[in-house]
Amino acid sequence: MNEKNALLIESAFKEYYFNRFDLIHVPQKATEREFGYQKFNSGMTRHLVIKNDKELHLLLMREVPSDVYCSNAYYSFPNLSMSEKDWKGADLIFDIDAKDLALPCRKDHTIFKCNSCNNHMIEFQSQCSKCGSTKFDIVSVGCMNCISESKKEVTKLVDILTTDLNVKKEQIEVYFSGNEGFHVRVTNADYEQLGSQERADLVDYIMFNGAIPESFGIKRQNNSKTSLPTFEEKGWRGRVARKLFSSKSKAPKVTREIITSGYSAFQVQLEEIKRTMGVRVDPKVTMDIHRIFRLEGSINSKSGLSKIQCINLDSFDPFLEACLLGDDDIDIMADCPIQIRLKNKKFGPFNNEIVSLPKYAAVYMLCKGLGNAT
């Protein structure tokens, strides 16, 4: 990021951190967690111990970081090197990101930015239309359809956590990530001691990975003894039954059709169920028992939006409720070929022109690489 852009964004972030201490708190067991932060155009600083909100707020004002993180893990010595920390356990965390959902709308709000000449294209081409370069940065602008579909994944995840894994709702915290998705954290549950492999197995269950027909009563041979799951069963067997039959009265007919179609056809049905009912989370995030995770209340430097808790997921609008930077106008050179919606206002498209924008919109474009400070 060029120096002028970094200075403008840093100034906006400092103002936010000064005015919104009410949103930024250390999590439970703060003294057992590792904190870290990154500054604009600089590397990561890790292995910090922050004991309370006062120390956290002082760090934010002194360093004005681009991003702030805190471990999901608990350690005896969080300030030491990784090999010396003495891991004690970790919250169960999940990352749901719209970019992983392969939604058709992505093509409508994705921009291809040439690395050589900064030319912006809204349709993918094998080479830049201006300079011929074949190297691009991919920039995605926020979209309510992506948010809505991500919310559905969160809802599916919470359902599986509570009904299948016996997690209490009060142990589940849902946050908007500050960019294009959601973070889900499970605290004070029976899963804190799970290692990476056990968490990987848990993710496979949640995503419905590796399901085989035998688990649902269909064998390669001797299908006359088929025993498909019923509506009343718990877990994925009951979930699959309700999907296949839609109603109890249809179960006998659908069962005959499944038997007639055979093993391979049922395997295809299970793959379709995985696609529509499995939760699409990022497995690497959940498996990482040493990960430092974006701190709630902090700003995401990829967008200038805040990571904030979603109290009412259904009505939550991140482009209003997480858009918390100032409203005072700033002039920038905007080069944004698609329209952006923030705080119920529309901005753009702009074609490499100087425009006066509210600070929250100007910073959003600068963070996305769609403009420059004047």
Q: Active-site residues: which are they? A: 95, 97, 282
Number of CB atoms found within 10 A of residue 271's CB: 12
Q: How far is CA 353 from the centre of its chain?
A: 32
Interacting residues of 348 by C-beta distance below 8 A, sequence separation 6+: 334, 336, 337, 338, 339, 340
- Does residue 349 have a cis peptide bond before it, meaning omega lies within 30 degrees of 0? yes
Instruction: Point out which residues pair with 36 in neighbouring strands.
Output: 69
Q: Please count the other Cβ atoms lying within 10 Å of the Cβ belonging to residue 207.
A: 19
What is d(CA 339, CA 284) in angstroms, rounded to the nearest whole number? 33
| Cα–Cα dist 119/112, whole Å | 8
End-to-end CA, the chain:
14
Cα–Cα distance measured from residue 72 to residue 89, given in angstroms and rounded to the nearest whole number: 9
Cβ-based neighbours of 11, under 8 Å, separated by 6 or more: none
